[in-house]
Structure 1
Amino acid sequence: MIAKFKFSSAIKSSKDILFLIKNFNTEGELFGNGDRNKIKLFDLNGKIINIKSFKIPNIINKVAYKYFRKSKARRSFEYATILLEKRIGTPEPIAFLENFNIIGLKDSYYASEHLVTELTYRELVEIPDYPDHDTILRQFTKFTFDLHEKGVEFLDHSPGNTLIKKVAKNQYEFFLVDLNRMNFHDVMSFEQRMNNFSRLTPQKGMIAIMSNEYSKFYTAKTEAEIFEKMWQATSDFQEEFARKKRLKKKLKFWKKS
């Protein structure tokens, strides 16, 4: 077994973190349902951190992650570091660890600061009368605009992947999580920007508010053009999502038959 790991330069207790990762299966408090990837909370010298254990890859990805691609754990660590350098909110990265065997990647872990926040974007979708709904949605849109201006294309920009923290009256901060899929650009096109909103909400009213707010900062297009493109990207995503869901349902039916 070969282990590869890296720690944030701000971390002094690397041995303690390695101990927690190596004892991941028997220690820690489970956070979330752990359906796909498993996250556990640990106490690190009085500070709560979370460690994410990524789903064990299939045989093809085991090889790919050893020879051709960076693991999800490593990408999460590196992308978090880049985001903070760009002054974009994300939990402080602590470390990543990869275990390799003769075939390829066996398992991998990403450790980061554990942030406690009031909500995620999902609450805005599911609770229309959430307090300060309009204010939060508009500030989130400005946050997304700033991402785009800094060339960050967050491919998993979806309801559960932005933590939202209230820091003052009518003032919120935003933190990206689940970071392993990102592209970085010198300049993002209009189409890339609008497509980046496609996974967030199926609600046309929310798209209208985000289009209105985005148009205040992105002046190359009119509000109507922004709304049209953002709504089209959203509709296309929802149709594709529904198609995949129907196909998955059929496959399950065929397997049972």
Structure 2
Amino acid sequence: MNDRVIYRAIDGVAQRRLCELIEVAEAFRSGVSLPTGWQCTPIYEGRNMLYRLQYGSEPAYVLKCFGRVSLPRRIYYSYLGVSKAKRSYLHALQLDFLSGATARPLGYAEQRDTWGLLGRSYYASAWVDATEYDIHAHARGLTAPMGFVESLGRFIANLHIAGIVHRDLSPGNVLYRRDERGEYQFYLVDVNRMAFRSRPLSLAEAAKNLSRLASNRSFLVALATVYARERGWEQLTTTSALLEAYERFWLARLPKMAARYARRVYGIGLVDFARRYLGYLSRRTIATLLAKGSRRRGILEADAERFYLEYLSYEDISHTLRRRYGYSYRLLRPHQSQSTQSGLS
């Protein structure tokens, strides 16, 4: 069964370059010699792969290689939906036209078999210096450069005013650099999940979109202050809405990430962890129904805190659960300190 590759690019020159980029990346993946003059540097290698490619001293490019997905999803993307590579390209074109807030798109390619089923797909864009600098460190509350939060708040507010929504607005998908005047320039990546609306975002929509951008409460409050001013909204109302959405997101995320942590560190399977986690929830709930200061309530709260410190604290990176229930702050990762036997196991 012979595969064919479909190419779409901004022009004929770009399409030829796209073909070359894919050829070089596949040669690199296969461990064979690269075509003369080409350099290929992996940025990320997982189910999807990201490479920086450059020919001689010419401008560099970024190529994202989307891996194969499950058969049901292949069927969906092939006949009903749009591939991630194609969405990335179309969204980048629109985003670049509206705001210039992404690397200049080059094109995309899809590998399909005789029956039209999607295999690998590729999206290519220009390389910008910002590609190496996402906002993870600052979003975690580490010291941000002077003027950074101010500039980021204006950037996101302008996107929302224009109706532009990145559906995965996480720290790793916002890159930045400083230009020759020292001003911040921001770029959105992983743009296959975007929405372009004909109206500005409401407060509820904006809060939900911003909820995963920060894992540090103080950073989010500072960002909300700037954002509210740019939108002409009341600061306390805006900050309150953003913090509420922020806590909902991180609390909803916590069980899934804690289950992965328990499997990775302690070898606990999903079913076993679910049983322990439900036990934690029940003891936490029962404790709130008992009289404050009672011996039974104290025992249940201590059990709940031991479970939190053992299994949840490392993934509670926003400290939302710790603050809500007054749990102790653990400086070491749970598996770095002496393991305790939780009463909930």
TM-based fold match above 0.5: yes
Q: Post-superposition shift, 1:29? A: 2.3
Quick one: distance in 2 between partners of 1:127 and 1:166? 20
Percent identity at matched positions? 21
Q: Which runs of 5+ in 1 are unaligned?
A: none
For 1:175, the equivalent position in structure 2 comes to 187
Q: Which has the higher strand share?
A: 1
For 1:155, the equivalent position in structure 2 comes to 167
For 1:123, the equivalent position in structure 2 comes to 137
Quick one: distance in 2 between partners of 1:76 and 1:13? 16
Quick one: distance in 2 between partners of 1:44 and 1:256? 51
Q: Which has the higher helix share?
A: 2
2:60 aligns to what SS in structure 1?
Answer: strand
Conservation of the 8 A alpha-carbon contact between 1:17 and 1:44: no
The ranges of structure 1 where at least 4 consecutive aligned residues each deviate by more than 4 angstroms after the TM superposition are 249-252
> Which is greater in Rg?
2
For 1:111, the equivalent position in structure 2 comes to 124
For 1:35, the equivalent position in structure 2 comes to 46
1:196 aligns to what SS in structure 2?
Answer: helix
Q: Post-superposition shift, 1:183? A: 1.2
Conservation of the 8 A alpha-carbon contact between 2:164 and 2:197: yes
1:85-117 per-position Cα deviation (integer Å, ceiling 9, x unaligned): 102311010010001112611110001111112
Conservation of the 8 A alpha-carbon contact between 1:88 and 1:147: no
Does residue 1:82 correspond to 2:84, yes or no? no
Conservation of the 8 A alpha-carbon contact between 2:174 and 2:186: yes
TM-score (norm 2): 0.68
Residues 166 and 249 of structure 1, relative CA distance in 2, 3 Å threshold:
closer
Q: Post-superposition shift, 1:3? A: 2.2
Quick one: distance in 1 between partners of 2:72 and 2:186? 36
TM-score (norm 1): 0.90
Residues 250 and 59 of structure 1, relative CA distance in 2, 3 Å threshold:
farther
1:94 pairs, out of 78, 88, 106, with 106
Conservation of the 8 A alpha-carbon contact between 1:74 and 1:110: yes
1:19-76 per-position Cα deviation (integer Å, ceiling 9, x unaligned): 3313422135243231231011222471111111012111111111111111000001
Conservation of the 8 A alpha-carbon contact between 1:41 and 1:50: yes
